[in-house]
Chains A and B, each alone.
Chain A
Amino acid sequence: MPSYKLNYFDARGLGEVSRQIFILSGTPYEDNRIPRDQWPALKDKTPFGTLPVLEVDGKQIPQSLAIARYLAKEFGFYGKTPFEAAWVDALADQVKDFLAEMRPYFAVAMGMVEGDKEKLKAEVALPAIEKHFGLLEKAAKNNGNNGHFVGSSLTFVDLLIADFINSVEGLVPGFTAPYPAVSAVKTKIDNLPKIKEWIEKRPKTVT
C-alpha cells in the first residue's frame, strides 16, 4: 500500500470527495489541512500553484478531479463498465461547470468580494441551479432513481454532488426541493455508516 497525503485547505470544497474515497475504502491517509496564511509560501512547491495536491509515496498529482479519478479507479468507485465510467466523467465535468458558473455568486455571498448578493442570486445562482440540477435530476431519474447517478453502485460523482449540495444549501436553503431523485442520492450517501461517522467528526467548514 503506498502512503497517501492529501494537501488542501481546511475546507470540504474540491478535496472532500477524495477524503471520502479514502474513508469508504478504509485506506489510511494524511489529511493535511493547510492554513490560508501558510499557503503563499507553499504555492510554488505545487505543480500548478493550486490545491488540492495528492502525494502518492511523495509523488505529486494536482487537480481535484484528476485526484478523485485516480483514487476512484484504485478503490472501485468509477462504475462497472467503461461506458458507466464515461457517464461518471460527464456528470463530474457538469458539476465543475456548475461551480464555475456559481463562482461570482459564491465570492460575494461568502464575503470575499464586494457585490450585490441578491442580484447575483437571482441572475447567476438560481439560473445555474435550474440548468445543472435539472440535468442531474434527469440523469438520476434515467438511472432508475436508485440513489446513484450512474449504475447500481457508489461512484465518486455521487460523493461529489452530495457534498456540494451542503455548500449550496447553506446559501440557498431548500433549493433541492424540485429535485427528489438528486435528494435521494444525497440521503443515501449521508446515511452510509462510514460517511455518517465522518460527517459527525470532521472539521465543520462553511464550504
Chain B
Amino acid sequence: MPSFKLFYFDGRARAEVARQILHLADIPFEDVRVSYHDWPPMKPTTPFGQLPVLEVDGEQLPTSYAIFRYLAKEFGFNGQTAFETAWVDALADQHADYFNEIKPLFFVLWGFAQGDRTTMVKEIGAPARDKYFPLLEKIAKDNGLNGHFVGESLTWVDLLIAEHVGTVHQHLPGFLSAYPNVIKTVNKINSTPRLKEWIEKREPTAF
C-alpha cells in the first residue's frame, strides 16, 4: 500500500471527496490542512500552483478531479463497467461546468469575495441551478431512485454531488426544494455507514 498525503486548505470544497474515498476504503492517509500563512511559500513547489495535491509515495498529483478519479479507480468507486465509468465521468464534468457558473455566488457565501447575496442568488444561483438540477433529477429517477446517480454502487460522483448539496443546504436552505429525487438520492448516499460517521465526526469548516 503506498503512503498517501493529501494537501488542501482547511475546508471541504475541492478535497473532501478525496478524504471520503480514503476513509470509505479504510486507507490511512495524512490529511494536511495548509494555512493561508503557509500557502505562499508552498505554492511554487506544487505542479500547478494550486491545491489540492495528493502525494503518493512522495510523488505529487495535482487537480481535484484527477485525484478523485485516481483514488476512485484504486479503491472501487468508479462504476462497475466501462460504460458506467464513462457516465460517472460525464456527470462529474457536467457538475464542474455547473459549479463554474455558480462559483461567484459561493465565493460570496464563503466570504472570499464581496457581493449582494440576494441579487447573486437570483441572477447567478437560480439560473445555474435550473440548468443543471433538472438533469440530475431525471438521472436519479431513470437510475431507479436507488440511492445512486450511476449504476448500483457508490461512485465518486455520488460523493461529489452529495457534498455539494450539503454545502448548498448549509448556506441556502430550501434552494433545492424543486428537486426531491436529488435530495432523496443524496440522503441515501449520506446514510452509507462509514460516510455518515465521517460527516458526523469531522470538524465543521466555513467552506
Write the residues of chain A forming the contact surface with B, with a CB cutoff of 8 angstroms: 47-48, 56, 59, 61-63, 65-67, 69-70, 73-74, 82-83, 85-87, 89-90, 93-94, 96, 100, 135, 138-139
Contacts and interface: CB of A to CB of B under 8 A. Distances in A.
Nearest to A131: B49
Q: What is the size category of the interface that chain B forms with chain A? A: 20 to 34
B63 A90 contact: yes
Contact of B70 (A62, A85, A94): A85
25 contacts: A47-B135, A62-B94, A63-B94, A66-B90, A66-B93, A67-B90, A69-B89, A70-B82, A70-B85, A74-B82, A83-B56, A83-B61, A85-B70, A85-B73, A86-B61, A86-B66, A87-B66, A89-B63, A90-B61, A90-B62, A90-B66, A93-B63, A93-B66, A135-B47, A135-B49
Listed from nearest, the 6 A-B pairs whose CB atoms lie closest are A66-B90, A90-B66, A66-B89, A63-B90, A86-B70, A89-B66
B6 interface: no
B53 to A, nearest CB: 10
Contacts of B89: 63, 65-66, 69-70
B61 A82 contact: no
A87 B61 contact: yes
Nearest to B49: A135
Nearest to B59: A83
Given A63-B94, A83-B61, A69 B66 contact: no
Nearest to A62: B90
A69 B73 contact: no
B19 interface: no
B7 interface: no
Where chain B touches its partner, the secondary structure class is helix
Interface string B51-75: 0000010010111011101100110
Contacts, number: 78
A181 to B, nearest CB: 15
Where chain A touches its partner, the secondary structure class is helix
Contacts of A47: 90, 135
Contact of B90 (A61, A89, A90, A100): A61
Given A61-B86, A90-B47, A90-B63, 15 more contacts: A47-B135, A62-B94, A63-B93, A65-B89, A66-B90, A67-B90, A70-B82, A85-B70, A87-B66, A89-B63, A89-B65, A94-B48, A94-B63, A135-B49, A138-B47
Contacts of A135: 47-49
Contacts of A89: 63, 65-66, 69-70
Contacts of A59: 83
Nearest to B70: A86
A189 to B, nearest CB: 22
Contacts of A94: 48, 63
Contacts of B70: 82-83, 85-86, 89
Given A65-B93, A86-B70, A139-B47, A93 B86 contact: no
B100 interface: yes
Nearest to B63: A90
Nearest to A56: B83
B9 interface: no
B189 to A, nearest CB: 21
A70 B59 CA distance: 26
